[in-house]
Amino acid sequence: MKELSLYILDIAQNSIKAGAKNISIKLEIDHKKDFMKVSIEDDGCGMDDELLKKAFDPFTTTRKERKVGLGLPFFKELALQCGGDAKIRSQKGVGTYVEGTFKLSSIDLIPIGDIPSTIISLIVSNSDVDVSFEIMSDGRKFSFNTLDIKKLLNGVKITEPSVLRWLIEYLEENINCVMEV
């Protein structure tokens, strides 16, 4: 996959499959420390210790359609390649937390890519799930939560085309603003 935002979408889809009501995505960028952290946290069904131990193993999956599950292994591979690592914490019935760290100077680091499209895809995938997103880049910060948006919309669905169009532009502008060097 060519963008970090696609990895984020992939892992957050696991959260949706795990029946999460809330998904929280955080992105932390610190150029001075040559450091980036990406985390995805959910309140889905979580994993027991046995499954958790095998979570980064590509031959682990909960699916019946195929015998491999590459989402988390891909993410870990990328982090390792980029001088970082990936961690996972999970508790059955509570939720799961996945985190990847990266060296910004790594030659193997791929672009963060289209975060707004990832967020919109998650909203559309299951509009009952609330998505929060926070980006911190060298001291600048932007945060977003579908819960707040839904409250403001008061009866109008978040998946209405006019709302989605506005959300895309709103997210693009604010994320670009935070990421400007």
Buried b (16+ CB within 10 A) or exposed e, 57-94: ebebbeeeeeeebebbbbbbebbeebbbebebebeeee
Check residue 38 for interaction with another protein (CB under 8 A).
Answer: no
Check residue 110 for interaction with another protein (CB under 8 A).
Answer: no
HSE-up (13 A, CA, CB side) for residue 150: 12
Check residue 94 for interaction with another protein (CB under 8 A).
Answer: no
The three-state (H, E, C) secondary structure of 83-122, written as one string: CCCEEEEEECCCEEEEEEEECCCCCCCCCCCCHHHHHHHH
Minimum CB distance to another protein smaller for 47 or for 175? 175
Check residue 60 for interaction with another protein (CB under 8 A).
Answer: no
Q: Which of 15, 96, 118, 146 binds another protein (CB under 8 A)?
A: 118
117 contacts 5 by C-beta, under 8 angstroms: yes
Q: What angle do CA 107, 77, 83 make, to 5 degrees?
A: 45
Minimum CB distance to another protein smaller for 33 or for 166? 166
Q: Which of 120, 131, 175, 178 binds another protein (CB under 8 A)?
A: 120
Q: How far is the CB of 137 from another protein (least distance, A)?
A: 17
Q: Give the CA dihedral 48, 85, 41, 47, nearest 10 degrees.
A: -10
Amino acid at 72: L
Q: Which of 45, 70, 104, 136 binds another protein (CB under 8 A)?
A: 70
Q: Count the residues of the shown chain that bind another protein, applying the rule CB under 8 A.
A: 41
Rounded-to-integer distance, Cα 162 and Cα 57, Å:
42
Q: How far is the CB of 49 from another protein (least distance, A)?
A: 24
Residue 147 DSSP one-character state:
H
Q: Which of 50, 63, 107, 139 binds another protein (CB under 8 A)?
A: 63
Minimum CB distance to another protein smaller for 82 or for 167? 167
x-or-dash string of contact with another protein, 138-167, rule CB under 8 A: -----------x--xxxxx--xxxxxxxx-
Check residue 21 for interaction with another protein (CB under 8 A).
Answer: no
Q: Which of 22, 126, 132, 145 binds another protein (CB under 8 A)?
A: 126
